[in-house]
Amino acid sequence: MQHAQRRSRPSRVHHRSVVTDAPSSRQVPQDTTAAGSQFVAPAVDTARIAHRPIPPAQIDDPRGFQLSQIRRRFSPREQDDSNGTVLTFQMRPSDPDFPFDIDALDCLLRVPFDYPESGKPSLTVNNPNMERGYQINVERGFDTIVANARASTLLNHMNALDKQLETLLVAQKADTIKIVPNFRKQEKPLSELAPKNELPYLSATAAESPPSPSNTPVTYSGEQKAQAQSRREAETRQLESRLGRLPKFTKSKDGLEYTVPIEPRKRSELPEDLKAISTINLIVPTLYNLEKCRIELNGVDGEAKMNVEKAFQERALHYPQLTLTNHINYLSQNMLTMAASKENTKLEITRNVPQPQPQPTEAQGLSNPSLSSGRSALPPYEVPDRAHIVTIPRPPEWDTADNDVEDTDDSSESYTDESCEEEEEGEAGASDKKPQNTISASTPERGILVSFPQMELYGIELLELVTISITIKCDRCKDTMDVANIKDAGKLDGLGTRSGTRAEICKKCAIPLGIGFRANLMHTNSVRAGYLDLDGCTVVDLLPSVFVPTCSECSTPYPAAGVVSVRGETSAAYCRECHRKMTFRIPEVKFLLVSASAVRASRAPVKRKPAEKLGIVAGTELPERGRCTHYKKSYRWFRFSCCNKVFPCDRCHDQAIDHPIEHANRMICGFCSREQNYRPKDCGLCHAWLTVRPGKGFWEGGQGTRDKTRMSRKDPRKYKRQAGTNRTT
């Protein structure tokens, strides 16, 4: 009966009660039947929390204590004025992944004499390369930090600003006002800048040239603006894809101005004012091509600069169908002609004004003959049976073999991607003339080219693949294997010898393989990492390899250890000299066969090791049947994988070689002298036992016998007296 009552009694559900406000700091959990209640930690008595002690110096002189913290942290230049103390210093961002190109924040901190009782510190940012709107954002952010934490110190304010610096710079730029003098003269139209006799081309093309600007603003329809916007996006995207990887190429934040590096043809013949030109500013209006683009030459001055800018603007006015990239290429090829006198420049442009014809495509525009040659483009003609094909006749100057270099195609693309160079490599090889900007490679083009298309370099001048690791596939058995740490064959190793070709053996079919690598220097205009010389195998994939970047700021190479990277991974390092961040990324890897007659590694001009002469003949016995002084019952030789040499046993190897031993995976039979994969007992060809036949010896690796009747009479244990017995006489 008691058991029945005990079974029928409901079990109690234990719940912890929710802590309520009470003066006691500890409460005992109580049982409750409220469903869904959870345990809540007891309230903490704040009166028992111990605060960090305040230093006596901060209590006695808080202003002097906080200024001393700033002095120890930033080592500022300090001066006193009528309002307080002015500290000038630089604060470097502590975030290693700071996205903006700012080495340090130039700060001017003003601390009033009545701080911290009533006065507030203020910050002024003086970075010359930072726009005033972003400087105001940082200054307002500092004021907000000070207002929210009045009890904090100056050093804590600066640390908080360091943490919020990226957020402040990402925010929208503050509005600023620029004050200009009121006596600025109004710009006159092009027709009023010079007398009528200096512009003979305007009368000839008055019907085609747009009307001169007037005070009445020009309005455009919505469709015209949409077309202009789509064309501007297409041409600026092409400009960025072609020139975006050049070191000095930059784009303004509003997207209206591009800094483009330029290398003029025949720089030595340019006027003295233009010889130092390295970059230009390309201004692309928002309503391009309704509003024409223009340029500004950086770092130069004089009449020649004005002539070039004027000629570029006039060419953009008369050739609205050409792209921005074409204008830049024309400028780099014809800067000498454009820098000439105004009369000659205008005469050249007048001669080359295109006649009304169907608007050419971009490819046709790029293939137009040189505008400086003085000849107009020939009109295209249509094929009678194929009306959709328009053929442009070959200009007559291209057929002349003895023309000067100036008669070459000036509107050709000077800047091309690596992919375009590889596609046109075959055509370029058939011509005797090479582009002037072609860099002759020091590494012979043979074997398999290792290329990194779309490689991204930031802060890196040169990048070298010093040690490559790859996966190869045997040509015979199609088995794959990984080969690591293949060094450049053209460099010297630690012993003063060249690396040469790596010798490997296929693990499946045991044929010899040869792998060699010749490295190339990579930069923004070259994505070729080097060439592989393979014998008996082909390359499958790239494994994590070692790269050595060179800083673009101080031209200091990274230490020999290098940076390990692989396809699809973004790798970063810091220069040991100037501490600049260097980042590179390899999105894709391509292995390209240079030509059908590629030189194999076995025929490459590298010094190969002489063949090993063992003095044996297949089918005959080895000397002493392969036995040595250490093992009298071993009838074979072993080829050790550590050095690929043949020795009778491990002790013979250690006596002759000083490196650590590794397992032998091949052997030579002592009866037939044929090399084969390792077998523990017998030969796989002549089937001779290479050890003592089991069953007659005592131990024999656990396969022998202890039966004295079956033991050989030559075994000393057959007649050995057993322990505990008397010797018989």
Residue 455 and residue 584 in contact, taking contact as beta carbons nearer than 8 Å: yes
Judge whether residue 320 has pLDDT over 80: yes
Exposure string over 402-430, b if 16+ CB within 10 A, otherwise e: eeeeebbbbbbebbebbeebbeeeeeeee
Residue 174 and residue 185 in contact, taking contact as beta carbons nearer than 8 Å: no
Tell me: the pLDDT tens digits for 118-175? Answer: 889 999 999 988 888 899 999 999 999 999 988 889 999 999 999 999 889 888 888 8
pLDDT number for residue 174: 87
Tell me: the pLDDT tens digits for 435-447? Answer: 333 333 455 677 8
Judge whether residue 701 has pLDDT over 80: no
pLDDT (average), residues 61-81:
90
Judge whether residue 283 has pLDDT over 80: yes
pLDDT number for residue 330: 87
What pairs with residue 356 in β-bridges? none
pLDDT number for residue 660: 86
Residue 326 and residue 366 in contact, taking contact as beta carbons nearer than 8 Å: yes
Judge whether residue 381 has pLDDT over 80: no
Judge whether residue 355 has pLDDT over 60: no
Which residues 6+ apart lie within 8 Å of 163 measured at CB? 94
Residue with tokens 């790239």: 542
Beta strands in 567-662 (DSSP E): 570-574, 581-585, 590-593, 636-640, 645-647
pLDDT number for residue 412: 38
pLDDT number for residue 367: 39
Distance of alpha carbon 539 from alpha carbon 242, whole angstroms: 31
Quickly state the pLDDT bin for 214 (edges 50, 70, 90). very low
Query: Which sign, positive or negative, has the C-alpha torsion 360, 366, 372, 374?
Result: negative
Quickly state the pLDDT bin for 360 (edges 50, 70, 90). very low
Judge whether residue 192 has pLDDT over 70: no
Q: Identify the structural domains of the chain with CATH numbers, from first to last.
A: 57-170 (3.10.110.10), 222-407 (no CATH), 448-603 (no CATH), 623-691 (no CATH)
pTM: 0.29
Best CA proximity match to 293, nearest among 219, 374, 365, 239: 239
Judge whether residue 18 has pLDDT over 50: no
Quickly state the pLDDT bin for 89 (edges 50, 70, 90). very high
Residue predicted with more confidence, 181 or 194: 181
45 to each of 25, 27, 181, how far by Cα in Å? 6, 13, 67
pLDDT number for residue 275: 82
Take residue 256 and report the two structure tokens written for it.
């209206």
Residue 368 and residue 377 in contact, taking contact as beta carbons nearer than 8 Å: yes
Q: Is the peptide bond before 53 cis (omega within 30 degrees of 0)?
A: no
Residue with tokens 């930690």: 41
Radius of gyration (C-alpha) of the chain in whole angstroms: 42
Best CA proximity match to 263, nearest among 416, 414, 373: 414
Take residue 561 and report the two structure tokens written for it.
């250890």
Half-sphere exposure of 191 (CA within 13 A, CB side): 11
Judge whether residue 480 has pLDDT over 80: yes
pLDDT (average), residues 477-498:
73
What pairs with residue 338 in β-bridges? none
| Burial of 262: CB neighbours in 10 Å, binned 0-12, 13-18, 19+ | buried
Judge whether residue 598 has pLDDT over 50: no
Question: Average per-residue pLDDT in the chain?
Answer: 75
Judge whether residue 369 has pLDDT over 50: no
Quickly state the pLDDT bin for 649 (edges 50, 70, 90). very high
In the chain, the percentage of residues whose pLDDT exceeds 70 is 69
Residue 110 and residue 120 in contact, taking contact as beta carbons nearer than 8 Å: no
pLDDT number for residue 728: 52
The secondary structure of 242-306 as a DSSP string is HHTTSTT-EE-TTSSEEEEE---TTGGGS-TTTTT--EEEEE--TTTTTS--EEEESS--SHHHH
Residue predicted with more confidence, 330 or 22: 330
Tell me how far apart the 2 most distant CA atoms of the chain are, in Å.
Answer: 145
Best CA proximity match to 280, nearest among 256, 266, 300: 300
Distance of alpha carbon 124 from alpha carbon 111, whole angstroms: 12
Query: Which sign, positive or negative, has the C-alpha torsion 166, 170, 172, 173?
Result: positive
pLDDT (average), residues 499-523:
85
Residue 108 and residue 135 in contact, taking contact as beta carbons nearer than 8 Å: no
The secondary structure of 298-358 as a DSSP string is SS--SHHHHHHHHHHHHHHHH-TTS-HHHHHHHHHHHHHHHTS-HHHHHHHHHHTPPPS-P
Residue with tokens 């779309």: 454
Residue predicted with more confidence, 177 or 423: 177
pLDDT number for residue 672: 93
pLDDT (average), residues 5-12:
47
pLDDT number for residue 491: 63
Helix (H, G, I), strand (E, B) or coil at 558: coil
Judge whether residue 617 has pLDDT over 60: yes
Distance of alpha carbon 392 from alpha carbon 322, whole angstroms: 17
Q: Find the helix or strand (DSSP H, E) in which 551 lies.
A: strand 537-551
Beta sheet of 279-283, edge-to-edge order: 250-251, 257-261, 279-283, 294-297
Best CA proximity match to 234, nearest among 294, 321, 319, 324: 324
pLDDT (average), residues 616-644:
89
Distance of alpha carbon 17 from alpha carbon 27, whole angstroms: 10
Judge whether residue 324 has pLDDT over 90: no
- At residue 676's C-alpha, the angle toward residues 674 and 681, to 5°, is 95
pLDDT number for residue 698: 63
pLDDT number for residue 23: 45
Quickly state the pLDDT bin for 218 (edges 50, 70, 90). confident
pLDDT number for residue 238: 84
pLDDT number for residue 387: 57
| Burial of 520: CB neighbours in 10 Å, binned 0-12, 13-18, 19+ | buried
